[in-house]
């Protein structure tokens, strides 16, 4: 059974793929590629963390996912502010929620290791 953070990051990645396709239609290939890489990497790292070999490995994977979520938000802001295409506010809400969930999970895992 998939876990909630895994599901949320997976659905976020699906929406990022759609947004990336819209960017490519506008010939914004570089930004599309950057957004696609960071936005789909969040879920990939969350999934990898489920098979972590240690708590440190789990924390590392979630920390990478958090960095990718922050980077994705950067690309979303850049797309919005450059007005390449309109960005639905839901992207920002979801990116922030993923950041909060990852931060809380990292803190919990760290406190449980003490």
Domain ranges for the chain = 4-106
3 band by pLDDT with thresholds 50, 70 and 90: confident
Q: What is the largest CA-CA distance in the chain?
A: 50
Mean pLDDT calculated for residue range 93-112? 96
pTM confidence score: 0.93
Burial of 1 per CB tally in 10 Å (0-12, 13-18, 19+): exposed
Q: How far is CA 23 from the centre of its chain?
A: 18
Asked if 35 and 75 touch (Cβ cutoff 8 Å), the reply is yes
Token pair of 94, please?
């979801």
Please tell me the number of Cα atoms within 13 Å of 70 on its side-chain side: 9
CATH second-level architecture of 4-106? Answer: Up-down Bundle (1.20)
Higher pLDDT, 35 or 1: 35
CA distance linking residue 112 with residue 104, whole number of Å: 12
83 band by pLDDT with thresholds 50, 70 and 90: very high
């Amino acid at each position: 059974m998939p876990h909630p953070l895994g599901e949320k990051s997976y659905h976020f990645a699906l929406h990022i793929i759609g947004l990336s396709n819209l960017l490519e239609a506008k010939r914004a290939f570089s930004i599309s590629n950057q957004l696609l890489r960071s936005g789909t990497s969040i879920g990939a790292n969350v999934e990898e963390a489920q098979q972590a070999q240690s708590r440190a490995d789990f924390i590392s994977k979630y920390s990478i996912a958090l960095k990718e979520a922050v980077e994705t938000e950067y690309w979303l802001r850049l797309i919005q502010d450059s007005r390449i295409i309109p960005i639905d506010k839901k992207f920002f809400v979801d990116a922030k929620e993923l950041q909060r969930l990852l931060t809380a999970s990292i803190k919990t895992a760290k406190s449980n290791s003490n």
